[in-house]
Amino acid sequence: MTDVIEQQPGLLTKGYAAASTGAPLTPFTFTRREPRADDVVIDIKYCGICHSDIHQVRDEWGGSVFPMVPGHEIAGIVSRVGAAVTKFKTGDHVGVGCFVDSGRSDGSATAAIEQYQPGVAFTYNSTEKDGTPTLGGYSDKIVVKEDYVLRIPENLPLDAAAPLLCAGITLYSPLKHWGAGPGKNVAIIGLGGLGHMGVKYAHALGAHVTVLSQSLSKQADGKRLGADAYFATSDKATFTKLANTFDLIINTVSAPLDWSAYLGLLKIDGTMVVVGIPDAPIPLGAFPLVRGRRSLAGSMIGSIAETQEMLDFSGAHNIVSDIETIDFSYVNKAFDRVVASDVRYRFVIDIASLRDDAAPRP
Ligand SMILES: NC(=O)c1ccc[n+]([C@@H]2O[C@H](COP(=O)([O-])OP(=O)(O)OC[C@H]3O[C@@H](n4cnc5c(N)ncnc54)[C@H](OP(=O)(O)O)[C@@H]3O)[C@@H](O)[C@H]2O)c1
Ligand SMILES: [Zn+2]
């Protein structure tokens, strides 16, 4: 796609966009709004690649809007603040996650569950309250209301902290909500971007952590990240060995999976929380649920307050993502590698690679 420059006043912004369903990402220039009184302008330094970016660029969930600038794992530095901003100043390390507004602003949403309520404006592939399409963090700057900007603890490097804004909170929230902690047996299905953060947080919260991965190829990494046990789901014996074992299972898998088989691994009253969002419905048997009063639940990211709690917890425990930093020129290849489960464990785009004079990464 050639550069597109909208004839509107505002902040000239460089990024990468997909022009249509499944199209490769190519350079794209657009304008952000001039900051209003309550806005923060962020000079984006890094943006993580979430599997949700790929689902949406490929329109696997339906309803995608193009051109699409993906990216909701944004880490950067405040470059400007509006006159009424009180929480941030120039130079602060900040992040933006999956949404840039919610019904909280007009009182129609409850802050603690704002991400589930009508009125949420996602960071891209969505619209602001005034109808403006949102464009995400695969770009060099973003303008966001201060209430939706997160503070990144200064001891965390911005590149490895970027994935906390989605992968981090998506695992932290259900682990906290369903009481992961000492004495609890927790399993994480899928050791990808979300899964590896789940291992770190469940371990830090004091739970006994098991990884359920397709193979044992990442076992040493799993143990290093904090797992107490690691099993291959390609081995049928895993499902008999681990029957009735877990209080909580978090399922991060992006592809269709036999959920019934995994429900059988829960103890009585155990819960499997689905956070992975495959593009096809999953057939489910009743027996694995009724035999054990088990629950099947879902969870989506977290509120702004809980995301800040997660970032502060991460700062206190020195938790960041394991990343592979890439230039924009590699982004389409990176998408394919994520889909092939070939990522250790999150790709993060170095936004400086947008500069015309940027030296290519070796
Ligand atoms: N609910 C939310 O709020 C939320 C937020 C962010 C993302 N998501 C969704 O969560 C999913 C995971 O995102 P991610 O960024 O962590 O993706 P990811 O890095 O690709 O990780 C997914 C992992 O699932 C496993 N997997 C992939 N294909 C599989 C298959 N066919 N059968 C069994 N296991 C398979 C792989 O782990 P192993 O190699 O270890 O088996 C892979 O590493 C995506 O669907 C994404 O859209 C949801
Ligand atoms: Zn995400």
Q: Any idea what the CATH number is for the domain that residue 279 is in?
A: 3.40.50.720
Residue 2 pLDDT > 50, yes or no?
no
pLDDT in tens, 314-342: 999 999 999 999 999 999 999 999 999 99
Judge if 15 and 147 occupy the same domain: yes
* Position in ligand 1 atom list of the atom nearest CA 195: 16
What is the C-alpha to C-alpha distance for residues 310 and 313, in angstroms, rounded to an integer? 5
Q: Is residue 238 part of a domain?
A: yes
Ligand 1, CB within 6 Å, residue ranges: 50-52, 55, 166, 170, 190-195, 213-214, 218, 252-255, 257, 275-277, 299-301, 338, 341, 343
- Read off the pLDDT band of 101 (50, 70, 90): very high
CA of residue 58 to ligand 1 center, whole Å? 15
User: Does one domain contain both 16 and 162?
Assistant: yes
> Is the same domain home to 200 and 269?
yes
Q: If you ran DSSP here, which 8-state letter would residue 104 be given? A: G
Q: With cut-offs at 50, 70 and 90, classify the pLDDT of residue 8.
A: low
Q: What is the CATH number of the domain that holds 52?
A: 3.90.180.10
The residue among 231, 227, 229 whose CA lies nearest residue 217 is 231
- Asked, for residue 90, whether it belongs to a domain, the answer is yes
122 and 79 share one domain: yes
Question: 3 in a domain, yes or no?
Answer: no
Q: What are 191-223's pLDDT values in tens digits?
A: 999 999 999 999 999 999 999 999 999 999 999
Are the C-beta atoms of residues 205 and 180 closer than 8 Å to each other? yes
Taking the C-alpha atoms of residue 277 and residue 58, their distance in angstroms, rounded to an integer, is 14
User: Do 219 and 324 sit in the same domain of this protein?
Assistant: no
Instruction: For residues 193 and 262, state if they share a domain.
Output: yes
> Considering the domain boundaries, does residue 130 fall inside one?
yes
Of the two residues 360 and 329, the one the predictor is more confident about is 329
Nearest Cα residue to 206 out of 189, 188, 184, 221: 184
The average pLDDT across 244-260 equals 97
Q: Domain of residue 262: give its range.
A: 168-298
E strands, the chain, are: 11-18, 25-32, 39-48, 74-81, 93-96, 99-101, 121-122, 141-145, 150-151, 185-189, 208-213, 229-232, 246-251, 266-274, 295-298, 323-326, 346-350
Predicted TM-score of the model (pTM): 0.96
Mean pLDDT value across the chain: 95
Token look-up 């943006």 returns 47
Nearest to 112 by CA among 50, 163, 177: 177
Residue 350 domain flag: yes
For atom 13 of ligand 1, which residue has the closest CA?
Answer: 51
- Assess whether 111 and 16 both reside in one domain: yes
Q: Judge whether residue 180 has pLDDT over 90.
A: yes
